[in-house]
Amino acid sequence: MPAITAGTLITDAYALLNVIMLGAAPDARLSAQGLRFLNYMVHTWSQMPLTIPVVARDVFTLTANKGGPSNPYTWGTGGDFTTSKPPNQNSVTGAARILNASSPPVEVPLAILTDTAYQAIQIKDLSNSQPTCLYYNPTFTVSGLGTVNLWPVPNTAVNSLAVYRFQQLASFADLSTIYQVPDGMDTALMFNLAKWIANATGRSLMPETAEIAVTTFAQLQRSNAKMTDMANDLAHNRRAGFNILTGTGGN
């Protein structure tokens, strides 16, 4: 698994563009510019499911009578759920309530609600010990936190909440912090960073470099395609299924 720093990616990207000599280091101004563009690119990639390699399982404690529209959970750094804020609703792939009173604990899936489905709930403050649905809204407030509503609103804190989500790429904090990334991502980051900063530096990518940027980005996305469970149409069809072995059925 490659270990990278923002400084290395930025130096190699500027060298590809002939902004600096091979083996030289960019000055402070170029380094700051490169770090900004690197994070611009990472933030854009965070909106693309196929650039995200990991579906994380986060477990959060619940507070009694919290999760309604007037008192939602906040999600993001400094919020009730202190992990990185999912950038959009599609980033939340699943959720469950964890029945901690059971031994071992039992995980009961929750339905993930769309905007329309949550709007259709007429009594949003209905309370119960066992919520059945989760609604995530990637709100943009002064704090930058998203919001999570549970329905019915749990009136007990005995259970926990498990959320499955795309774990988007983190911003590069500085030039020297070392990050572990999947194989191939380091190459895609470096060549595509050169593509992003080319106009800002008044340089043009060589055709071969532009082709590598496109190819490595496509390879990264292909490698992150997830396995999915095959749907069974018979579950939605009351008629008898067709038997391919006997040639009968389907009426």
pLDDT tens-digit series, residues 20-44? 988 889 999 999 999 999 999 999 9
Whether 138 and 85 have beta carbons less than 8 Å apart is answered as yes
User: Which structural domain, as residue segments, surrounds residue 31?
Assistant: 3-51+170-223
Same domain assignment for residues 62 and 158: yes
Same domain assignment for residues 88 and 139: yes
Q: What was the pLDDT predicted at 240? A: 57
| Antiparallel, parallel or unpaired: β 106-112 and 248-249 | unpaired
Q: Is residue 119 part of a domain?
A: yes
Report the distance separating Cα 55 and Cα 182, nearest Å. 14
Q: Is residue 247 part of a domain?
A: no
Q: What was the pLDDT predicted at 120? A: 97
Same domain assignment for residues 15 and 102: no
Q: Is residue 217 part of a domain?
A: yes
Scanning the chain, the segments in alpha helix (DSSP H) are: 6-16, 28-45, 115-119, 185-197, 207-223
| pLDDT tens-digit readout, 222-246 | 988 877 777 665 555 555 566 667 7
Same domain assignment for residues 91 and 142: yes
Of the candidates 208, 192, 216, which has an alpha carbon nearest to the alpha carbon of residue 13? 192
Same domain assignment for residues 34 and 74: no
Residue 116 burial by CB count (10 A; 0-12/13-18/19+): exposed, middle or buried?
Answer: exposed
Report the distance separating Cα 62 and Cα 105, nearest Å. 15
Report the distance separating Cα 15 and Cα 177, nearest Å. 21
Domain total of the chain: 2
Indicate the pLDDT class of residue 251, thresholds 50, 70 and 90.
Answer: low
Q: What was the pLDDT predicted at 234? A: 57
Same domain assignment for residues 158 and 185: no
Q: Is residue 228 part of a domain?
A: no
Bigger pLDDT: 67 vs 21:
67
Q: What was the pLDDT predicted at 229? A: 76
Q: Is residue 36 part of a domain?
A: yes
Lowest mean pLDDT among 2-6, 20-24, 81-85, 103-107: 20-24
Whether 114 and 121 have beta carbons less than 8 Å apart is answered as no
Q: What was the pLDDT predicted at 225? A: 83
Of the candidates 77, 96, 64, 94, which has an alpha carbon nearest to the alpha carbon of residue 161? 96
Indicate the pLDDT class of residue 139, thresholds 50, 70 and 90.
Answer: confident
Same domain assignment for residues 183 and 123: no
Report the distance separating Cα 166 and Cα 49, nearest Å. 7
Q: Is the pLDDT of residue 192 over 90?
A: yes
pLDDT, mean over the chain: 90
Question: Beta partners for 241?
Answer: none
Q: Is residue 177 part of a domain?
A: yes
pTM of the model: 0.80
Mean pLDDT of 107-111: 97
Same domain assignment for residues 157 and 195: no
Q: Is residue 111 part of a domain?
A: yes
Lowest mean pLDDT among 48-52, 141-145, 159-163, 197-201: 141-145
Q: Is residue 61 part of a domain?
A: yes
